[in-house]
Structure formats: structure tokens, C-alpha cells
Chains A and B, each alone.
Chain A
Amino acid sequence: MTNNLEEVPMTTTAERQAVLTAANTAPDKDWVIVTRGLCREYDMGGEIVRALRGVDLAIRRNEYVAIMGPSGSGKSTLMNTIGCLDTPNSGEYWLNGQKASEMKDDQLARVRNKEIGFVFQTFNLLPRATALANVELPLVYAGVPSAERHARAKEALERVQLDKRMGHRPNELSGGQRQRVAIARALVNRPSILLADEPTGNLDSTTSEEIMRVFEELANQGQTVIMVTHEPDIAAHARRVVVLRDGVIASDDRRENFTAKLGL
């Protein structure tokens, strides 16, 4: 595994501990994400499924973090909550020093639009819109005028080497290309964090490698990246690895220690 993440910064356990124990206080803006005792429960017809049971997680700007864990451990639930796509039942969630867990609908919409770029396992592109139109969408909701929108969407597609395909619809693109469109869409509004929930889950290994190189490059350029995966060799691309088990964080360590534990 050759990668070059040494420039990507990483927080120490002590730094994180300090931020996480200061309950009900706004963290420094440099901490893009701080969750304290985050819980999410689902009511499945009377039976309560506890997907998150108190997650304490702190991520500073420019970090590249992988979230791992067995299936059903709560990885997606955590990502959706961080991405403001889902609301926690209890606990604090601070995004860029602002309490997202208490935001109203329209504020959340603004945050999703401006602060978060989300890449899904299933791409979630609009099937009947071209690659360019898909990438433009966040800018439409940001109220960017159409000429600037076009230029910025094209630029984002260039960053993922897809500018030649911008007139194509999703069904005219390969899986890897679709995911590149999704990444371009996530980046187009210059979000403070890029979230990816198993972005390579639907791709073959060669394509996965390509996509991982895109994330790696973005991380090297200073983009804060949080990525969920259950494949250790994908996680090995990250600088820091968080392991979830039964809705709580089982370990949170630098990638080298993690891969050593697994014998990679």
C-alpha cells in the first residue's frame, strides 16, 4: 500500500479528549465535528433499535478519517447524522462550532447546502438530469446565477476528470464515472467536510482504487474527509481510523496502529 498522507494532519488522543469532555460548550471552530453522547434510536413497531448509543467523536479541520465496523454497527446512522440528513434523539452535535442538533429545518437545509458534501454508496444522482445538471444542483439551491453555476460545475467535473462527459445522463455512465459525478457534486459548493458512506461499495476493485485516489488527492489538498468503509484496504488510505461496534466507538487511532493490529 503506497500512499502519501504524511502531510495530512491528525489530532492526538489527548486533544480530542479535552474537547469531548467539555460538555455543553461550543468547541473551537477548528473542530469541524464534535459529537458528545450522540444517540439515535429507531422504533421498529414497538421494538426499539438503538443504532447509536452515545458516540463521542471529535474531528479537526483537514483530517482524513475512516469509519469502520461490522455491518449494523451504526456507521451509516452516524454519517447521516453528521451530514444533517438524520436527526439524533439525544446528545450534542457541533458542526463548525455551531450546535447542529438544535437547528431548525431551514438552517439544516443551509448547512447541508454550504457545509456538507455527501457521497453515497448508491450515488443518488437524479436519473433524468445530465452530469452537469446534477453537479449544478447544490448551486441552484444556493442561489448562484446560472453562468457562474455552469462554470463552477464544469470546474468540479474537471477535478474528477469527467468534464468530457458532462452532457451524459447517469445511465450513460459507468459506476466509477457516476461516483465521480457524485464527488464533483459534493465538492462544487466548497463544503467544509466531505462525507462518504461506502463510496466504493458498489464498485469493482480497480474502480475503487481510482475513487480512493480521488479522495486521497482531495485530502492532500486540505479537504476534510470522513469516509465509511468496511474494507480494511480502503480504510488503509485514511490517516485516522475510527471503529464502531454496536453503536459506540470501539477504537479511534492512527491508521498505522490499526493496520498493524490487523496485520496488514
Chain B
Amino acid sequence: MKFFEAVRLAFHTIRVQKLKSFFTALGVCIGVMFLITVVSIVEGMGKYMENELVGKLIAINSFELRHRPSINVGDVSRETWLEYNRRPRILESDVEPVVAALPTDALWAMYSNGSIQVESSFGKPRSAQVTAFDGQYLEIKKLGVTSGRSFSQVDISTGTSVVVIGPDLAKRLFPDLNAVDRQVKIGGRYYTVIGVGESLGSAFGMSFDNYVYAPFRSPVHRLLNPGAHQIDGMIVQVATAEALPDAQEAVRGVMRARHQLRPAQKDNFVLETSDTALEFWNKIKSYLVLAGIALPAIGLVVGAIVIMNIMLVAVAERTHEIGIRKALGAKRRDILLQFMIEASTLSTFGAAMGIALGALGAYAIRTLTPMPTYVAPWSIVVGVLIGAGVGIISGVYPASRASLLDPVTALRQE
């Protein structure tokens, strides 16, 4: 039999067995759709975390010098915690030697931060994330202003009582007003708002836009770090990823010398890169991906069972048909070819519908819920492979078995 004849026979069957064809395609479609939608949620959250959250909150090619980690991966034991508390703090006097060890094109800043109540005469007082910094903190974080201005060199070096506040905080403290040039009160002292900063967005309902930036030498610093000359940390950004390890080593050397550590002693400070934060995220993501594989797998298994059952119901009828065809001279190859074309056509159609509906589902979730979704190309490939695979196997396998029977045996089934 010619290939074209097999195609013709297969398409004829698809056309005349509309209901069965529909359900086969539907089974594949549901499996693929489910996989693509679920994976799009997981991937969407992942992309969101990496691009929006981690990317915005942690600058690229940067690291922070702190006396203890700001993010802890996994549980921290009591002993570790106590050890963290015994560590010497990073001091203002550490900054100069550290900067001297950095490449000249590196950006750096020192900072202290904490959560402090901020008041205004126009809205309710609000707790905000207040950061007092010296150096190129806002350049490193790539944080600009949307209205007003950012800090001048004079503001930073003399420690004027000015602040840049986040858009959420501006809205709360100055409802329906322009916050620029108005006053906020922090720790009983007044500060002039010189600018409103860009939005950092939010994640899972938590806003990152309740921030206040102030010059390190402004009075705010005393609220953040009461101990004299202590700072929370330094942030350093180098030009390229390749320059990062060298810069870290240089800073490590300086700090070990300043803390008079002997070679056998471990560091009593941390150099935290964005990797640390990414590692934290990757740990969460691994659970999400696991769920993202397990859930669609369950969906596909259910889909496969549905398809198999539809196929099985049709098998008796198809076995009889195979008996007739074999009695008239069909070779096993002819039977397999016909069923292969039939099953792959239906499966491909079903998979294509599944991709379309899955993408539509992802879009619907993205627009109707706060959950970010992203249709990963790999999920389309996996969805098509698994969906079409299940469809083809469940279509061809029974046919392959039936085609091995003597025609009489196949004909006896009705």
C-alpha cells in the first residue's frame, strides 16, 4: 500500500469517527493544557523573582560586607546565632582601607538601615525602611527619582536633613499632595523631602516602596546604629562579573587584617553576593519546580488513562476492522501505518489545541489574579512530546497487538 493511501484511510477514519476522534484529541489537549498552564505559573514566579525581585533589590556584580548574613538559607542554629552576635561590628573606619583595596572603577557605599516610624502633618504615621548611606548607594541600586531631585554631593558630605522617599510612603504620608519640599518627622526631627523615588514594585502583596533614604551624616544615623561609628555594612559594585572574586578577596584580606585574624581562624564577617540571595530563591524554586512537574505529571497520567480508555472502548471495533483489512490482504505494516497517521494527526491537533488553551489559561491567570505567569518554551516541548506520545502509543499499541492476530481471531471480536 502506498503512503498516500494510508494517509487517505487515516483521514477517512478520523472524519467518520468524529466523536472518538474528538475525545482522543481532547484527552491530549487537556493533558498538554494542564502542563503548560501549571508550568507557566511556576516559571512566571521564578522569572518574577529573578528579574523583578532579586534583580531590583540586589544589584548585579555587587557584594555586601556585613558582620552577619542578611539572608539565611535554611535554619540557623542557636550556636551560630550566638557566634554572629559576638562578632565585631563593621566600623566607619573600616571603609577607607576597604575602598583603597578596590579597583578604581568600583562603586561603593556604606549604609545602616532599619525600620522606623515616619510622620507627616497630612497622613497617619507609618513604619518605613530607612537607610542612611554614604557613597554611591543609589547608583549601585539604580534607583532614580520620579519627582523632585536626588541627593547632591553637598547633601551627602555635609549630612543635610533631606530625604528621598518611596512612592507608597509618599502616597500614605501626603495623600493627593506633592510630597516634594514638604516635611517628614523621623525620631522627633524634621527632614525635607527632596524627591520621590522610583517604584521597586511588590511581591506577594508586600510593597517595597515604603523606603526612606537619607545622608549617612544626617541625624537619622543615630536612630539606626546607636553604637558610635558602627555601620550595618558596605556595598561594593565592580564593573564585570569576572572582577567580582578578586575584589572580594581584596576586601577579605583587608578585613581579616583589621580584625587580626590568624590564618587558621575563620572569617568573622561575611561577603554576601547576589548569589546568596539567588541561592535562597533557588531553594524555594526547586520546590516549585517539583510541584510544577508533579502536578502536570498527575494531569497527564489522568489524561493518558482517559485516552487509553477511549481507545480501549474502540479497540474491539478496531480489532474487527483490522481483521477485515487483514483478510483482504493488508500487511501488518499497512495497518500500523494507517493507525500511526491517525493517532499522530489527532494527537498533534490535540497538542496544538492544548498549547493554545494552555497559553490562554496562563494569560487569564496573569490578568485575573496577582500571580505572574510565563509560558516556558520547554513546557511546550515537553507537553507536545508527552501528549503526542501518550496519544500515539494509546492509538498504535492496541492496533499493533491486533495486527499480530490471525485474521479469524481479530474478526471474532465485535
B408 near A109 (CB under 8 angstroms)?
no
Interface residues of B in 11-40 (CB under 8 A from A): 12-13, 16-17
A156 and B331 alpha carbons, distance in the complex (Å): 23
A112 and B323 alpha carbons, distance in the complex (Å): 12
Q: Tell whether A112 pairs with B328 under 8 Å between CB atoms, given A80-B408, A126-B321, A140-B9.
A: yes
Interface residues of A in 74-106 (CB under 8 A from B): 80, 83, 85-87, 105-106
Q: Tell whether A109 pairs with B321 under 8 Å between CB atoms, given A85-B406, A85-B411, A140-B9.
A: no
B2 near A141 (CB under 8 angstroms)?
no
A173 within 8 A of B: no
Instruction: Write out the residue numbers on chain A whose beta carbons fall within 8 Å of the beta carbon of B332.
Output: 105-106, 109
User: In the complex, which range does the number of interface residues on chain B fall in?
Assistant: 20 to 34
A138 near B329 (CB under 8 angstroms)?
yes
A204 and B326 alpha carbons, distance in the complex (Å): 29
User: In the complex, which range does the number of interface residues on chain A fall in?
Assistant: 20 to 34
Q: Tell whether A140 pairs with B5 under 8 Å between CB atoms, given A110-B329, A112-B329, A128-B16.
A: yes
What is the interface of chain B mostly: helix, strand, loop, or mixed?
Answer: helix
Interchain nearest-CB distance for B411 vs A (Å): 6
B324 within 8 A of A: yes
Closest chain A residue, CB of each to CB of B4: A146
Residue of A110, A113, A141 most packed against chain B (CB within 10 A): A141
B411 near A124 (CB under 8 angstroms)?
yes
A126 near B324 (CB under 8 angstroms)?
yes
Interchain nearest-CB distance for B4 vs A (Å): 9
Interchain nearest-CB distance for A183 vs B (Å): 13
Q: Pick from B329, B406, B409: contact of A114, CB below 8 A.
A: B329
A15 and B9 alpha carbons, distance in the complex (Å): 47
A112 and B324 alpha carbons, distance in the complex (Å): 11
Instruction: Write out the residue numbers on chain A whose beta carbons fall within 8 Å of the beta carbon of B329.
Output: 109-110, 112-114, 138, 141-142, 189
Interface residues of B in 375-414 (CB under 8 A from A): 406-409, 411
A140 near B1 (CB under 8 angstroms)?
yes
A109 and B332 alpha carbons, distance in the complex (Å): 9
Interface residues of B in 313-363 (CB under 8 A from A): 321, 323-332, 334
A32 within 8 A of B: no
Closest chain B residue, CB of each to CB of A149: B5
Instruction: Write out the residue numbers on chain A whose beta carbons fall within 8 Å of the beta carbon of B2.
Output: 143
Interchain nearest-CB distance for A141 vs B (Å): 4
Instruction: Write out the residue numbers on chain B whose beta carbons fall within 8 Å of the beta carbon of A129.
Output: 12, 16
A106 and B336 alpha carbons, distance in the complex (Å): 14
15 further A-B pairs in the complex, CB-CB below 8 A; given A110-B329, A128-B12: A86-B408, A106-B332, A112-B329, A112-B407, A113-B328, A124-B323, A124-B327, A126-B324, A128-B17, A138-B328, A140-B5, A141-B325, A141-B331, A143-B2, A189-B329
Top 9 nearest A-B pairs (CB, nearest first) are A113-B329, A128-B16, A85-B407, A141-B329, A109-B331, A86-B408, A85-B408, A138-B328, A112-B329
27 contacts between A and B (CB under 8 A): A85-B408, A86-B406, A86-B407, A87-B406, A106-B331, A109-B331, A109-B332, A110-B329, A110-B331, A112-B326, A112-B407, A118-B327, A124-B323, A124-B324, A124-B411, A125-B324, A126-B324, A129-B12, A129-B16, A137-B325, A140-B9, A141-B329, A141-B330, A141-B331, A143-B1, A143-B2, A189-B329
Give B contacts to A, CB under 8 Å. Answer: 1-2, 5, 9, 12-13, 16-17, 321, 323-332, 334, 406-409, 411
